[in-house]
Amino acid sequence: MKRITLLLSIALSTIILISCNNQKTKKDQLIIFHAGSLSVPLKQMKNEFVKENPNAEILLESAGSVKCARKITDINKDCDIMASADYTIIDEMLIPDYTSWNIKFASNEMAIVYHNESKYSNEITAQNWHEILLKDDVFYGRADPNSDPCGYRTVLTSQLSEEYYNHTDFAKKIIAKNQEYIRPKEVDLLALLESNTIDYLFLYRSVAQQHGLKYIILPDSVNLKNPELREYYKNAKVDITGKKPGTTITKTGQPMVYGITILDNAPNKKLALKFIDFVLSKQGGSTIMEENGQPSMVPSYSETYNAIPEELKQYANQNK
């Protein structure tokens, strides 16, 4: 009897020890849905953050920003942080039902991206690209406007180009061309370019820079970069699919601004706050964003300033 009791005691102690060890090794998990154009800087931030927080496990899930939002609204997938290439996606699709605040944190610009094997690569310039892309023997790619801000920004850039280059019907012609090379998000197009399937693509300058690709810097009147041209950009508009089937959202041209938030039902709010603090700080993610061609906009005016967690209000302004 004593032997049985001893064995039971040893077994129980072993179970407790194993349980304690499992508790010690269990990672503190964080789920982030993010725009494809944030893949490179967020991976770098993840690596730096984990050095300081070795128990953290950062799960990065990349997709077009609209698609990221739909994973939350339509599929109810678990998510702690949403980082969008267009802050208005958070405003229009997640506020107020899924989050109550939004911080603007980075900017970007549209560019025409290519490589040495692209047709007419020795001739293309910021003044003639719109003519070259319409040539019959040239193939170009773009992101899907209903999935990715880069997609609808391509349409907006095309519309703005009509007036700047005095090229009637350019937007209509270019959007109708090469539709077989539309992809869900802008980074999916890189494989098409690298395999010489396409010659050019509309892409964020930062992504081209991060991947060592050649690109044409577009005039501010069409690249959606310059805040001083905010009113002018509004001349361009495009409809994309809305929150619910059969509805649409009208996207109006405006300077590119990225947004970030924590979901109301985030599984790990404590770690989410800590990670966003790292993302937005000058000592952390802000410098990484700058190095990757995505200038920081911190602090910027936020329409939702009062709802921002106290720990993060230093990264936003309540006055324009």
pTM of the model: 0.86
Predicted pLDDT at 175: 97
Predicted pLDDT at 22: 46
Predicted pLDDT at 23: 44
d(CA 320, CA 313): 15
Q: Can you read off the two tokens belonging to residue 320?
A: 């324009």
In 3D, which of 64, 88, 193 has the Cα closest to residue 140? Answer: 193
**Integer angstrom CA distances of residue 155 from 36, 37, 148, 183, 270:** 18, 18, 12, 14, 39
d(CA 115, CA 104): 32
Predicted pLDDT at 186: 73
Predicted pLDDT at 21: 47
In 3D, which of 242, 257, 261, 259 has the Cα closest to residue 100? Answer: 261
Q: Is 126 buried (19+), middle (13-18) or exposed (0-12) by CB count in 10 A?
A: middle
Indicate if 110-252 has the same CATH topology as 28-106+257-317. Answer: yes
In 3D, which of 265, 269, 245, 243 has the Cα closest to residue 77? Answer: 265
- Using DSSP bridges, classify how beta strands 140-143 and 110-114 pair: parallel, antiparallel or unpaired: unpaired
Predicted pLDDT at 18: 47
CB 267 within 8 A of CB 80: yes
Give residue for tokens 């095309």. 158
CB 251 within 8 A of CB 265: no
Domain boundary assignment for the chain: 28-106+257-317, 110-252
Task: Please give the CATH architecture assigned to the domain spanning 28-106+257-317.
Answer: 3-Layer(aba) Sandwich (3.40)
85 CB neighbour count, 10 Å cutoff:
29
Vertex 140: Cα angle to 139 and 146 (nearest 5): 140
CA atoms within 13 A on the CB side of 28: 14
Q: What is the pLDDT along the chain (320 residues), one digit of tens a residue?
A: 555 554 455 545 555 444 444 444 578 999 999 999 999 999 999 999 999 999 999 999 999 999 999 999 999 999 999 999 999 999 999 999 999 999 999 999 999 999 999 999 999 999 999 999 999 999 999 999 999 999 999 999 999 999 999 999 999 999 999 999 999 877 789 999 999 999 999 999 999 999 999 999 999 999 999 999 999 999 999 999 887 778 899 999 999 999 999 999 999 999 999 999 999 999 999 999 999 999 999 999 999 999 999 999 999 999 87
Task: Please give the CATH architecture assigned to the domain spanning 110-252.
Answer: 3-Layer(aba) Sandwich (3.40)
Predicted pLDDT at 9: 54
Strand partners, 316: 300
